[in-house]
Structure formats: structure tokens, C-alpha cells
Structure 1
């Protein structure tokens, strides 16, 4: 047997559906044909890739490794085919970017527009994800580029410096802390908080800071956007922590106060992550270079 994209694509489909029958139905192919392809793959690599049981299949360690590698191979083949086709239509590349809310609300709109002005034939597919998921998806080759908070992730990724996020505390105008210009974070732990969603990097950072202070973080409500957080704070539901740059567009029309946080972690770093710079498409490499240069020029 020689490896071919069809066998890898069927293997990925089986892994995603959890059953050979489900993969066969999704690909409009006979179950026996899928099963034969899987057996040939296992014979080719001389190792079991799947554990078959009454509920379907489970990946072995070798199967998990092949799944990640297959996604990368298939993506590269799709990218090759797409980019070569796009030459005839004038769109010479698609870059898949996953970014956190902070990067999307503060930096990427302007920087992406600047990139389009220089490279009008390249498209960028931008999706918002939370930071822990972004690094995982870049490692799994589901995104070319990840832009998110710099956090421990345990993946073999290449990291480039991006912007520095200045986190601030937002309070209602009549709050006991409202007359302050700056605070230590532990001072606001006496009050209820409006938080972001559970897996967000800011929420994880606040939980860590509260734990180091031996104090609980009293989350009264959690939201999924900075504007919703600011409106909840204005309504008096608590205080909240957000990036300074991200709230400029909201604070102007809201009756809230913005306080600096003196703790060192409140100046957090955003990073650009890629799996392997040598395997990026030309379009993706150009976009990474553009983001790095833009961040460096902004200071």
C-alpha cells in the first residue's frame, strides 16, 4: 500500500465521528471499504491505530499521533489546491487565524486592514477563540496562526512577541473604589466581580491572583464580551477587569470609572503562535511578519 489522501481523510473522519459506520455515511462510501482502508493503514504502519468496541472506535496513542499529522497533511494539500486555483481568480492565498477577544478588539482590525492594502489578493479567515483553545488548535493544524495571551500550554509551538495588554479595573461611578486612580488587585477582592467566560485567559489570571492572595474571587455574573461586562458594571452588578485599549470604545458612552492595577501580571503579553514556520504557506508567513512588524513599530 502507498499512502494517499483518501485513506488519511477517511481515517480523520472515523476519528471525528467515533464510528466506522458514521464515517462511511458522511463520505458516501461502503462501510466495508472504510474498514479495509483502516486495516491497510494499520498494516502499512505496523501498529494498531484504533481500538474497536461496541460503541465504536477509540484512538490508540499511535492513532492520536496520526490524526494530528493527517490534519496537517490534508490542510497543506487543500491549501495547495486552493492557492493554485485562486491564482486564476486573483485571490492568491487564505490564512486561517484564531485570536482571542483582546487581540480582535484592540489590534487586529487595523493591522489586518493595513495588510489587505499591501496584499489585496490574500484573504484572512479570522475566528475568535479563548487562549487555551487557540494554542491547542494551532498545534492540531486547525489554524495557521494563533494570537492570544501568553500562557503555559505544553505544546511544541513557535512563539513570536506581539502587543502588551494593560489590564485595568472598571467600577461604577458610586463604588467605594471609584475615587482611586490605581489599586492593588487584592483591594478589589472585597467586592463582587463581573467576569468573562470561564476559559478566558483574563478569568484564569484573576483566579490565580486571588488564590495567591488567599482570597476568593466573588464572581456575581459572567459574560462573553467586553461591552457586556462594562454595561453590567455600569448597572452596579460589580467591578470588572478588562484590557485598557479594548474598553475605549465603550467607556465614552458609559458612566464607569477606570482604575490602573499595580500588580505586575496586569501588564500581560500577547503572543503569536505557529506550529512550524517552515511549513506555513507564503501568505501565512507574510501575515505573521506583518503582525510582528506592526506590534514592534507601535512600541
Structure 2
């Protein structure tokens, strides 16, 4: 089976635009050439890729299978071109670091900034993911390293405890005073609860734990990031489950708000952050340098 990148690019553009004509225009080739290329792909495969009609084109069953593969291959080639171009511009290898919400918001920004200042040729891609997704991506070789919760099974990954990161309930004194001393997840459904937007790893963690416990959490409002969430708590809008470091920062920013921190009596809230990778000895040189730097920043 032989397709060149132009074939795959044309195929993707054709389905995204809905016509071979527009697909050809996006690829800057003639309609006759585009039609010939697609027929050639179908001949090689021995199956039609497009349903053709007066309204345009849609994917056949074979076309629907090919489409995600074609998109991935084109993306990989763009990333390859970018990586190679970076060397010509004097930049170094790109490091991919995955981290959960708390690691990014409360722990990583300062040490990563210091590391990049000391290594001006470094290219770093920091992405937020749930701890489960980080472990899966690392095991699949889709990133260099990650910072995730120790509550997630790490399998064959090499891990090292990095920092304590317990979750606490942050709220105005008057609101938390009504809760029992032994706060459980089901108690949160009886108060004005604030949280992060669903794309954040911390929101997804709470949703998974609530589902497992059979608790229906109802949020009064969802904030775009931890600082905004803590500020809403300080303004008296409700309470929120946040990393202890974020809660402590909020009490310093809002001394007049009379905020309280209450631990949650569940194992998954008493968590630690761990550094993880497949094998430190197999990391690229710059990634290994970052791994060592973060190890030294552990506390």
C-alpha cells in the first residue's frame, strides 16, 4: 500500500470540506488531478473511500477507517518538521511533561521557569491531564515524564514521591461550622459547593470518586482555574475541595475572609504527587536533566 502525504492531505481536506473541488483548492491542485489521486487511492485499497453525490462527498466505511489514521500521520509529519526545524534554529530537543491540575497550578511553574532560564535552548510542552491519563500516556510512550497522584496505579512506571498534595475543604468559617468533624464526600452535597470546569483534572477526579461513592454533587458555580475558585470561596459564595497549598495561599490573600481548611476523611484526598517515567536511564539527555532537576526540587 503506497500513499504519499499529498494523497492523505487531499483525502482529509476533501472530507472536511465536503467536496473534491474544495479539497483540491485547499491542496492547490487541479480538480482533475485531485480526482485522479483519489481514484488511485481507491484502486490501491481495492475499496471506495468516498460516497459521491450531487451534494458532495462523505466517507465510506473504508474511508471512515482511513480518516483518523491519515490525520495522525499528517500531524506526526508536522511535528517532525517542527522538531527538525528547531535544530536549524539552534533550539534543542522538545520535552513533553504531563501533569495534573494541582501540580501545574501549585507546584511546577516556578521550578520549570527556573530550569528554562538555566537552559535557554530547551523546548518544553507542559500539558494538563488527569493522573489516570498521565499513567496511560507514559506507559504508551506518548510523553517523556509526568507528575501525577500516587493514588493512581503506576504499573511498570518508575516513580518517585515528589511532594505532598492533600486535598482540603476550603470555606468560610460559618459554612464549615455546620459540617461534622469527620467530613465525608456525601456531606458536600448539602452545602453550596464550588468547583473547577469539567476539563480540569481535579473536576474529573471528584466526578469519578462521587460516582464510585454514589454521591450526586451539585455545583453552584464552576471556575476556570484554582485561583479564581479560591477567590470565590473567600467572597463567601460557597466551599470547594482544593489542594492544601492553594487553600493556604487563599487564606493569605484574603485575611479578612475568615476562611477555614478542613481535611476530607477519605484516602484519595490524602495524596502525594509523584514523578513518573518509563525508565530514567532511557530519557533523552535534556529530559533526564529536567528529571534530575525536579528530583532536587522535591520536598
SS in 2 for 1:168: strand
Shift, 1:257, TM fit: 1.6
1:208 aligns with 2:208: yes
Q: Distance in 2 between matches of 1:268 and 1:32?
A: 61
Relative to the length of structure 2, the TM-score reads: 0.71
1:37 aligns with 2:40: no
Q: Per the alignment, do residues 66 and 165 of structure 1 end up closer, same or farther by CA in structure 2, a change over 3 Å counting? A: farther
Q: Which residue of 1 aligns with 2:26?
A: 26
Q: Which residue of 2 aligns with 1:194?
A: 194
Q: Per the alignment, do residues 17 and 208 of structure 1 end up closer, same or farther by CA in structure 2, a change over 3 Å counting? A: same
Q: Which residue of 1 aligns with 2:109?
A: 109
Q: Which residue of 1 aligns with 2:183?
A: 183
Contact 2:230/2:246 (<8 A) preserved: no
Aligned residue pairs total: 285
Shift, 1:289, TM fit: 5.9
Contact 2:131/2:149 (<8 A) preserved: no
Shift, 1:159, TM fit: 5.7
Contact 1:171/1:177 (<8 A) preserved: no
Contact 2:234/2:250 (<8 A) preserved: no
SS in 1 for 2:36: helix
Unaligned segments of structure 2, at least 5 residues: none
Q: In the TM superposition, what whole-angstrom CA distance separates every residue of 1:116-144 from its partner, at most 9, and x where no partner exists?
A: 244321222445x5549976xx79x9x85
SS in 2 for 1:232: helix
Contact 1:51/1:57 (<8 A) preserved: yes
Shift, 1:240, TM fit: 0.5
Q: Per the alignment, do residues 31 and 245 of structure 1 end up closer, same or farther by CA in structure 2, a change over 3 Å counting? A: farther
1:234 aligns with 2:234: yes
Unaligned segments of structure 1, at least 5 residues: none
Relative to the length of structure 1, the TM-score reads: 0.71
Shift, 1:215, TM fit: 3.1
Q: Distance in 2 between matches of 1:290 and 1:15?
A: 42
Contact 1:183/1:261 (<8 A) preserved: yes
Q: Per the alignment, do residues 191 and 76 of structure 1 end up closer, same or farther by CA in structure 2, a change over 3 Å counting? A: same
Shift, 1:252, TM fit: 1.0
Q: Let me know the Cα RMSD of the aligned residues.
A: 4.5
SS in 2 for 1:252: helix
SS in 2 for 1:169: strand
Q: Per the alignment, do residues 63 and 189 of structure 1 end up closer, same or farther by CA in structure 2, a change over 3 Å counting? A: same
Contact 1:194/1:220 (<8 A) preserved: yes
Equivalent residues in 2 for 1:152-191, closer than 5 Å = 161=159, 163=162, 165-177=165-177, 183-191=183-191
Q: Per the alignment, do residues 274 and 258 of structure 1 end up closer, same or farther by CA in structure 2, a change over 3 Å counting? A: same
Q: Which residue of 1 aligns with 2:268?
A: 265
Shift, 1:247, TM fit: 4.0
Contact 1:160/1:292 (<8 A) preserved: no
Q: Which residue of 1 aligns with 2:51?
A: 52
Q: Distance in 2 between matches of 1:133 and 1:33?
A: 46
Shift, 1:195, TM fit: 1.3
Contact 2:185/2:215 (<8 A) preserved: no
Task: Choose 1 or 2 for highest CA Rg.
Answer: 2
